[in-house]
Structure 1
């Protein structure tokens, strides 16, 4: 079965929506009327109502008569619209909370110009515009607080429906499912022989909650199925901005870009390709040993794999317009994902991770894409120590989480924050291994000769004075002193 192309899909969607007998709580038609505040209120109302109706999206369409549903065309141009000196889309996004995914698209349908505003459903919190929450009651837009029963129902839905269980594509036929999803990749990763017929393929995908039968007898493709195994994420409008971006820069800043790539496939189907692409972009170091020269990657592949997988798994899918991003600079690699971390960044190494997306994380672990629960970050720290690289840095940037790997740097060229962070993470790593940091273990970590043990002592003193370490037993003699993280 041939699927509509990316250019044909909006027009096909408009024709299907026009066939509905009336407007719905998740669908509004207009001719030309444009009120900027009203558009923002509609985004809130359609997003919340889509969640109540278990729809992936709500729609506001200009150029359709709301009574007859006939195509009449529109003069509204969202790309040219401004509020003051600010572009309409930026203005709307700034006043929405949380910042959900929405998009305007102008399309010609049967000779008429139509504008489609597609709004992602609310997830985890009702969507507000200018500090007010709206909802559709029939075809009318109302404030949510005026309908407490709707508000209670919405919160119940948020509590019961994880992101993975939501619908990415509704009413797909058997042919569409196998055309949209890279099902051979699933069977390969799961280590299961590929079934001989389509019905067995669909049965297995349904057993993994990648698809599910709906009341009409066709298939709904879940977010879990699409985000992991989409052949093209752009085929799923609510997920296309969740594709991974990889950007390589010429220097140490973002001024000059060498290369940029946006991933096309689902995370599981495209993960090995992603890692291969990243490794090809990474600089290498030339090592000379026993008269043999060899190039080794600047960063250990295990660290790259784990941090990339963590960014996919732990992101907040409710943040619109943002997806995981991997940036490669001359002196570092930054891996950023949407969403503030659920645990303190200083406790990443010792605290079992809390995932917003446990279904996604579980399958990724089963497929061997990431480490078992709780063992990932400690392996990142361990392998960077083995390479004698500066310690990785974990931070919160606005409402995003960032992990940074640094290129090799001599101890004498590290600044104080580099040194204290390395001592702290080394102590954390020793602690989770039921051991303690000592002067000797820190010398091994940095490659400090035994005759320079005073250097290690100065590093430990810096970390203790910085409040990141404490002596395990303050009464112990200096030669027998052991150290633990401040929280231990």
Structure 2
């Protein structure tokens, strides 16, 4: 769908995926310029068909396999984060568009006393690039993280995060909606505050300390949302990170599918298609240190006796579902098995093993539930989720590890 954006009294921008139409008047004559952004990750398509210029003709790419191989090789080396979001900017325009104070504040770096000092840092991080003509380019990395108004940057404007709250467990009635207007780093804490305000909470007193506890652990939610921002596929058009709040669950969806097997999220070294974004967001302390994010998510769910977070893959999207607390009897069996598997992963990483006792504690059950947990463990073994650490050990001392261990 084409979206119209007014920019000044004599300018009109039309944006459709990677196409931008610039409409203005010169000497009383209407001039229209079509700008096609440089491709990143995949070729620009028309009606889902990629084309290529051969001499003075535009031909379907599929008819030229040798050219297609060369093109894909080049696209694989193209990094979305380093592509230009805005070019030919004066220094004053750069400072008008980006929130430099946020960059220094989140890293606990003393704000330089002049613009040249500030530019030194952001040039090193390739948030801004100095052109040969003395002007400046703001990269997609700079725009997506530090834009004061993300709509100022057509290449990333559609990647602003959204929060939608529904009345119940369906999408029939929407209660509230939040549309991000700033770069991720600039607006992240405000987004989390808004999200926390929508979640049911209660005050509890532990060891004479009064604290507010939300329905879902905010540490886990923070990490899930940060992961959605970091690992999204920016080449997927018409889609942005989305947080949906239902009565008994929260769904966080991002464009793109993981580069790591979802069964190995906890133990595998992390892999991201957006390395610069991932590295900088961790330096800005927007998420956990390298590799510990999913460990923390799963552990927070265990500590709060929630079902394990569910991961669902679609053709062009990944969805993580965080469930509210349920009585053990009401948790679907497949979710119990998944919780059992993730518990085994966490125990394995701490050089321990899953036991009947540890799994009871994970679900918040009493000793009387030992038989139920034994049946769950037996089923998890039979379906290949876990395996005995030592099959010769007596049943009383049996420990279990993930099936891949």
TM-score between the two structures when normalised by the length of structure 2:
0.90
For residue 124 of structure 1, the aligned residue among 29, 41, 58 is: 41
Structure 1, unaligned runs of 5 or more = 15-58, 61-88, 90-100
Offset of 1:124 from its aligned partner? 1.9
Any conservation in 2 of the 1:345–1:396 contact (CA below 8 Å)? no
SS of aligned partner of 1:461: helix
Looking at structure 1, the residues matched to 105 and 5 of structure 2 have their Cα atoms a distance apart, in angstroms, of 28
Matching of residue 264 in structure 1 with residue 263 in structure 2: no
Any conservation in 1 of the 2:130–2:136 contact (CA below 8 Å)? yes
Query: What is residue 6 of structure 2 aligned with on the other side?
Result: 7
Looking at structure 2, the residues matched to 433 and 292 of structure 1 have their Cα atoms a distance apart, in angstroms, of 30
Query: What is residue 362 of structure 1 aligned with on the other side?
Result: 279
Bigger Rg, structure 1 or 2: 1
Query: What is residue 191 of structure 1 aligned with on the other side?
Result: 108
Relative to structure 1, the CA distance from residue 215 to residue 108 in structure 2 (aligned partners, 3 Å threshold; closer, same or farther) is closer
Query: What is residue 195 of structure 2 aligned with on the other side?
Result: 278
Partner deviation per Cα, 1:330-367 (whole Å, 9 max, x = no partner) = 00011110001111111111112210000000011111
Query: What is residue 98 of structure 1 aligned with on the other side?
Result: none
For residue 386 of structure 2, the aligned residue among 465, 469, 474 is: 469
Looking at structure 1, the residues matched to 11 and 54 of structure 2 have their Cα atoms a distance apart, in angstroms, of 27
Relative to structure 1, the CA distance from residue 177 to residue 380 in structure 2 (aligned partners, 3 Å threshold; closer, same or farther) is same
Matches within 5 A, 1:86-485: 101-102=17-18, 109=25, 119-129=36-46, 132-136=49-53, 140-144=57-61, 154-285=71-202, 295-485=212-402
Looking at structure 2, the residues matched to 318 and 290 of structure 1 have their Cα atoms a distance apart, in angstroms, of 50
SS of aligned partner of 2:6: coil
SS of aligned partner of 2:252: strand
Offset of 1:444 from its aligned partner? 1.2
Looking at structure 2, the residues matched to 229 and 11 of structure 1 have their Cα atoms a distance apart, in angstroms, of 28
Looking at structure 2, the residues matched to 314 and 417 of structure 1 have their Cα atoms a distance apart, in angstroms, of 26
Any conservation in 1 of the 2:251–2:322 contact (CA below 8 Å)? yes
Structure 2, unaligned runs of 5 or more = none
SS of aligned partner of 2:225: helix
Any conservation in 1 of the 2:164–2:174 contact (CA below 8 Å)? yes
RMSD: 2.9
SS of aligned partner of 1:280: helix
TM-score between the two structures when normalised by the length of structure 1:
0.75
Looking at structure 1, the residues matched to 251 and 371 of structure 2 have their Cα atoms a distance apart, in angstroms, of 33
Offset of 1:263 from its aligned partner? 0.3
Relative to structure 1, the CA distance from residue 259 to residue 419 in structure 2 (aligned partners, 3 Å threshold; closer, same or farther) is same
Partner deviation per Cα, 1:185-220 (whole Å, 9 max, x = no partner) = 111112222222222222221111101111222101
Offset of 1:135 from its aligned partner? 2.6
SS of aligned partner of 1:265: coil
SS of aligned partner of 1:353: coil
Looking at structure 1, the residues matched to 44 and 210 of structure 2 have their Cα atoms a distance apart, in angstroms, of 58
Offset of 1:142 from its aligned partner? 3.7
SS of aligned partner of 1:226: helix
Relative to structure 1, the CA distance from residue 458 to residue 151 in structure 2 (aligned partners, 3 Å threshold; closer, same or farther) is closer
Query: What is residue 34 of structure 1 aligned with on the other side?
Result: none
